[in-house]
């Protein structure tokens, strides 16, 4: 199993190209099931989750071609995928595929919308309730689907097709909004989604669907209206840049010091996080090529932050901010309001000498003058990269184990960091 070895203490200087957003690429690929024409997606990141979703879509009969590099392409440019779901030969998404990635459950929406049936394993074999699929099921039932749960599978049928409806989400749900949006595009009549998620990735998917012939308005606000259409066509769409990757590298620069251009980043996608970085003592300069981040000489100042749905501070950057605050001059408070169990990185950060106290959903971080390298273990996708950030600033050697979590969401992490002066390498086997 691969590991990452880091020798800390080097400042980061140079340019890091930002990849396409995983959280937009996955639902965009799934949206390819809505049409029998070819959907071409540019700037798709090369990630384990993308490869896994290609396998899942292939199981339904989708042909996916990855275009090769073109003259002038640099190594970090995303891949171009040609997705053709002309013939859906299987409407079942089996447990062994869905269990590896939660987002793959979303195939239920386009399969139901286009084929009027689907049989999809509950994601990860989880009980309905935690990171629930109950909101997704509610949305599909509102659109007229008949759903039963049998043997760990959701069996969905809509014999006459889906019908437009008003969907009221009791709480903001990104996955629920994606599912409702995709399902409603081919439903008869008008669908209104209330309390919709406003994340930029929702807007990106809606933009692509509109290019395919959907009639969606209000994406990016809490009320989205969809006028159902009989058929969608193919189109070409470029995946927006990854705001979580942007924020992660910005925090790595703030942690280590240095000066890095985040090429292709869009500041409006993560303004709340950039504001927190400025408060912590980093210099943030948006420019024509993205965002420049620097911290030269100034110490890291403590901050108090609560995670919140967009446009608030993203839960997916909470672990990275916590790593940054471990060496702040004073005490910081981070409150996690989105997901329970999202403090698994705390005990691993403590191995560096970090001083963190948990009280319910709030972590208090008492800054320490220096961290020391340690062997640590990645526990989930976003937490894993917080250990990399801590390792970059720690004295001595850090070994990050179980890095397959990192490969799910960060494209060529060690290459991008080593190009800016970090001493970081992947050790295979």
3-state secondary structure of 78: coil
Secondary structure percentages of the chain, helix, strand, coil, to 5? 35, 30, 35
Report the pLDDT value the prediction gives residue 338, as an integer from 0 to 100: 86
Catalytic-labelled residue, pool 126, 198, 208, 420: 126
Could you tell me if 232 and 34 are in contact, meaning their C-beta atoms sit under 8 angstroms apart? yes
Q: What is the dihedral of CA 264, 42, 320, 265, to 10 degrees?
A: 10
Fold assignment, 3-19+241-427 = UDP-n-acetylglucosamine1-carboxyvinyl-transferase; Chain (3.65.10)
Question: Does 338 count as an annotated binding residue?
Answer: yes
**Cβ atoms within 10 Å of 369's Cβ, excluding its own:** 8
Domain ranges of the chain: 3-19+241-427, 22-238
Question: Does 28 count as an annotated binding residue?
Answer: no
Question: Does 188 count as an annotated binding residue?
Answer: no
3-state secondary structure of 148: strand
Is the fold of 3-19+241-427 the same as that of 22-238?
yes
Question: Does 83 count as an annotated binding residue?
Answer: no
Report the pLDDT value the prediction gives residue 125, as an integer from 0 to 100: 40
Ranges of residues in the chain with a pLDDT under 70 are 68-76, 124-132
Question: Does 23 count as an annotated binding residue?
Answer: yes
Is 126 catalytic? The answer is yes
Report the pLDDT value the prediction gives residue 309, as an integer from 0 to 100: 95
Question: Does 233 count as an annotated binding residue?
Answer: no
Angstrom distance (rounded) from CA 200 to CA 310: 8
Question: Does 270 count as an annotated binding residue?
Answer: no
Helix axes 48-59, 22-31, angle to 10 degrees: 10
Angstrom distance (rounded) from CA 312 to CA 322: 16
Question: Does 215 count as an annotated binding residue?
Answer: no
Report the pLDDT value the prediction gives residue 126, as an integer from 0 to 100: 37
Question: Does 171 count as an annotated binding residue?
Answer: no
Question: Does 131 count as an annotated binding residue?
Answer: yes
Using CB atoms within 10 Å of the CB of residue 337, give its burial: 0 to 12 exposed, 13 to 18 middle, 19+ buried: middle
Of the candidates 18, 40, 20, the residue with the CA atom closest to the CA atom of residue 29 = 40
Which strands form 190-194's sheet, in the order they lie side by side? 166-168, 190-194, 223-227, 215-217
Question: Domain 22-238 carries which CATH code?
Answer: 3.65.10.10
87-141 residue pLDDT tens: 999 999 999 999 888 889 999 999 999 999 999 998 864 333 355 689 999 999 9
């Amino acid at each position: 199993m691969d590991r990452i070895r880091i020798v800390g203490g080097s400042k980061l200087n140079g340019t890091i190209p930002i990849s396409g957003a995983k959280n937009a690429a996955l639902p965009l690929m799934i949206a390819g099931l809505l049409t029998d024409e070819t959907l071409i997606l540019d700037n798709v990141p090369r990630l384990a989750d993308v490869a896994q979703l290609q396998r899942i879509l292939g199981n339904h009969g989708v042909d996916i071609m990855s275009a090769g590099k073109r003259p002038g392409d640099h190594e970090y440019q995303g891949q171009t995928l040609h997705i053709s779901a002309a013939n859906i030969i299987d409407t079942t998404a089996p447990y062994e595929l869905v269990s590896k990635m939660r987002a793959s459950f979303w195939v239920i929406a386009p399969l139901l919308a286009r084929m009027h049936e689907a049989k999809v394993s509950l994601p990860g074999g989880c009980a309905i309730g935690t990171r629930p699929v109950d909101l997704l099921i509610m949305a599909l039932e509102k659109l007229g689907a008949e759903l039963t749960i049998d043997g760990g599978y959701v069996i969905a049928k809509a014999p006459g097709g889906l019908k437009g409806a008003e969907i009221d989400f009791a709480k903001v749900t990104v996955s629920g909004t994606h599912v409702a949006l995709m399902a409603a595009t081919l439903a008869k009549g008008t669908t209104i989604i209330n309390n919709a998620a406003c994340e930029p990735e929702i807007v990106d998917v809606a933009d692509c669907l509109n290019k395919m012939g959907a009639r969606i308005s209000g994406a990016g606000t809490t009320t989205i209206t969809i006028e159902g259409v009989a058929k969608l066509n193919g189109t070409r769409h470029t995946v927006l840049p990854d705001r979580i990757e942007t924020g992660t590298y910005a925090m790595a620069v703030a942690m280590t010091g240095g000066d890095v251009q985040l090429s292709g980043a869009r500041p409006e996608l993560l303004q709340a996080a950039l504001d927190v970085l400025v408060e912590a003592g980093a210099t943030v300069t948006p420019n024509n090529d993205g965002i420049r981040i620097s911290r030269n000489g100034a110490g890291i100042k403590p901050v108090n932050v609560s995670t919140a749905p967009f446009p608030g501070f993203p839960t997916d950057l909470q672990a990275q901010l916590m790593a940054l605050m471990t060496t702040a001059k004073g005490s910081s408070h981070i409150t996690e309001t989105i997901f329970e169990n999202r403090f698994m990185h705390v005990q691993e950060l403590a191995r560096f000498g970090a001083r963190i106290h948990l009280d319910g959903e709030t972590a208090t971080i008492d800054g320490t003058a220096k961290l020391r390298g340690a062997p640590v273990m990645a526990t989930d996708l976003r937490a894993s990269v917080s250990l990399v950030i801590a390792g970059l600033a720690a004295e001595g050697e850090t070994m990050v184990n179980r890095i397959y979590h990192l490969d799910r969401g960060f494209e060529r992490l060690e290459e991008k960091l080593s190009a800016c002066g970090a001493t970081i390498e992947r050790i295979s086997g």
